[in-house]
Structure 1
Amino acid sequence: MSAKADFNNWLDRINKTETVDDRIIALNFGLFEAENGYTLYLTGSECFDEEDDTWATNIDFEPKEKYFVLSSSLVKGKEWQEVLTVSKELVTEYLNAVNLSNTIFKHVKAITIGFDDGNLIRIKP
């Protein structure tokens, strides 16, 4: 199975097993580097501030399968900026390919991505 398919399956599993309360208005795909490579995680918040990224530290939703280790085939030898670009493309392609009305993403007003110690990039709207 391809790394992209693994990522899509991760989000599909979350969509099948989790529900997000209408109070969750923003979802964030966080990124960090660990000893074994780069990892993505998903959290949600009841608050969102376009001017202040600290909203993402207010975690009101965490799926049981919160973490996804990025395949080395996607990120091996890449600088952090390239890892961020690859990750953003994975999320964007997934969101563009699925019917959002059947997902945890349907009510949120913002979806972002970024490294824990960096700025967030808004993916949606």
Structure 2
Amino acid sequence: MNARFKDLKITIKKWITDIDNTDELSSDIRALCFNLYEPYGIEMIGSSWFDEEDEEWACDEDFKPTQRVCPNFNVPDSFTWEEVLEIVISILKELINEVPGLKLFKVEHIAAGFVDRNLIIIK
């Protein structure tokens, strides 16, 4: 991972870790969704239900962290949305493996995607 994306990974890791340390994740949350949008940004929500065939689960915001939007998510607009999605999916997969003890990563399902586009199931 080049230096720019290493910095982005550090930013995302700090954001997720801060949420994990400050927000109470209810035991009924089954899935997390990392929503990407343009100009490039990312937010997290949690849902009490999940259906791989019905992405509407990601619209039910049963968990809304205090710091819902990742600060300092600096991605140049020269990147396509497909590139940004690929980078974020890669970072999230790495973080799930690197810090499996986070309460947030203990949910059954984790997905990411751009708003109004298909979700990618990560876990």
User: Above 0.5 in TM-score?
Assistant: yes
What is the TM-score normalised by the length of structure 1? 0.86
Q: Secondary structure at the match of 1:11?
A: helix
Provide the rounded CA distance (Å) in 2 between the counterparts of 1:3 and 1:29.
15
Counterpart contact for 1:18–1:104, Cα < 8 Å: no
Q: Is the 8 A contact 1:39 1:67 kept in 2?
A: yes
What does residue range 1-125 of structure 1 map to in structure 2 within 5 Å? Answer: 2-34=7-39, 38-68=40-70, 69-72=72-75, 75-100=76-101, 102-106=102-106, 108-124=107-123
More strand by share: 1
Where structure 2 has 5 or more consecutive residues not aligned to the other structure, the ranges are 1-5
TM-score of the pair, normalised by structure 2: 0.88
Distance 1:65 1:47 in 2: 22
Q: 1:78, 1:17 → 2: CA distance?
A: 32
**Structure 1 residues without counterparts, runs of 5 or longer:** none
Structure 1 position 6, deviation (Å): 1.5
How many pairs are equivalent? 117
Structure 1 residue 76 displacement after superposition: 4.4
Report if the CA contact (8 A) 1:19-1:104 is conserved: no
Task: State the secondary structure of the residue aligned to 1:67.
Answer: coil
Identity %: 36
